[in-house]
Amino acid sequence: MDDLDRWDDHLRQYSREAQAHPELLLLSSPLERLWARAVALVFPARCVLCDRIDTPLCAECQRRLDAAISPVRVHTAPPLNHVIASGLHDGELRRVVHAIKFKSDRYAAAGLAVYLAGRLASVLERTTWKIDTVISVPLHKDRQYERGYNQSQLIALALAQRGAFRFSPQLLIRHRATRPQVGLSRANRLINVENAFRADPTLAAGRAVLLVDDVCTTGATLAACATALLEAGASRVYAVTVTAAR
């Protein structure tokens, strides 16, 4: 069974659940979904922006954010020409990105990911990109284990579900742990992530891949991912992020 068959199966199996609670679909097992719902009954989620007891991002805050943000284009290193972000890394959108990364359990992170994927979907609607596969910038496996989830992968998965794109998390791996990019110059960022990623040629061949990440600063990490994907035979690579640094 390839990843596409598995994906179809997953959607069929949980389609009713998905309609009511799309965030639950981002959790990996039925047991985890059951646990998340039980915990939510005892400890209801609070909105990460206004702190009211509601969903991880309440409807009112979602409406306010939707109205406040607009897409930003970031020029990046080849082979990517540019990356489109759903908004600037600023204000409330920045707080949501920070919350999904550092302040959330997996279930709250999944709720935020569903919202952010919606923002990315509206970015994609403005492009003419032909995409068949969605992946996130991978974390090194040790880092992902520490955090318990990869926030960008949750967003990518939610976007794949929404747009019926193939989700292919095995396609790209980060085989070398890298220093955080924060505080490095543009040139050092490129060196830091060079050859850090490896793509699987059997999964990459002929695919038009959309890379998803939470924040784009210089685009060095995304460009390194795109290089690995193209070398492995991907036909095209595009990238969207939730925010772009000024």
Asked if residue 97 binds Zn ion (CB under 5 A), the reply is no
Residue 47 or 158 with smaller CB distance to Zn ion = 47
Amino acid at site 235: S
Candidate segments 42-50, 84-92, 136-144, 198-206, binder of Zn ion by CB under 5 A: 42-50
Which 3-state string (H, E, C) describes 6-17? HHHHHHHHCHHH
Asked if residue 50 binds Zn ion (CB under 5 A), the reply is yes
| Number of residues lying near Zn ion (CB under 5 A) | 5
Candidate segments 59-67, 190-198, 217-225, 227-235, binder of Zn ion by CB under 5 A: 59-67
Residue 49 or 99 with smaller CB distance to Zn ion = 49
Spatial separation of the C-alpha atoms in residues 117 and 97, rounded to whole Å: 12
Residues 163-222 touching Zn ion, rule: CB under 5 A, are: none
Asked if residue 156 binds Zn ion (CB under 5 A), the reply is no
Residue 45 or 47 with smaller CB distance to Zn ion = 47
The minimum distance between CB 123 and Zn ion, in angstroms, equals: 22
Candidate segments 53-61, 99-107, 111-119, 161-169, binder of Zn ion by CB under 5 A: 53-61
In three-state secondary structure terms, 201 is: helix
The minimum distance between CB 42 and Zn ion, in angstroms, equals: 21
Strand partners, 210: 134, 238
Helices within the chain (DSSP H only): 3-13, 15-20, 30-42, 59-68, 91-102, 106-125, 141-147, 151-163, 186-193, 201-204, 220-231
The minimum distance between CB 61 and Zn ion, in angstroms, equals: 3
Among 26, 45, 61, 137, binds Zn ion (CB under 5 A): 61
In three-state secondary structure terms, 130 is: coil
Residue 58 or 242 with smaller CB distance to Zn ion = 58
Candidate segments 51-59, 179-187, 199-207, 238-246, binder of Zn ion by CB under 5 A: 51-59
Contact predicate 134/171, CB 8 Å: no
The answer for residues whose C-beta is within 8 angstroms of residue 84's C-beta and 6 or more apart is 71, 72, 73, 74, 123, 127, 239, 240, 241
The minimum distance between CB 48 and Zn ion, in angstroms, equals: 8
Residue 65 or 74 with smaller CB distance to Zn ion = 65
Spatial separation of the C-alpha atoms in residues 100 and 56, rounded to whole Å: 10
The answer for residues whose C-beta is within 8 angstroms of residue 109's C-beta and 6 or more apart is 56, 100, 149, 151, 154
Asked if residue 49 binds Zn ion (CB under 5 A), the reply is yes
User: Where along the sequence are the contacts to Zn ion (CB under 5 A)?
Assistant: 47, 49-50, 58, 61
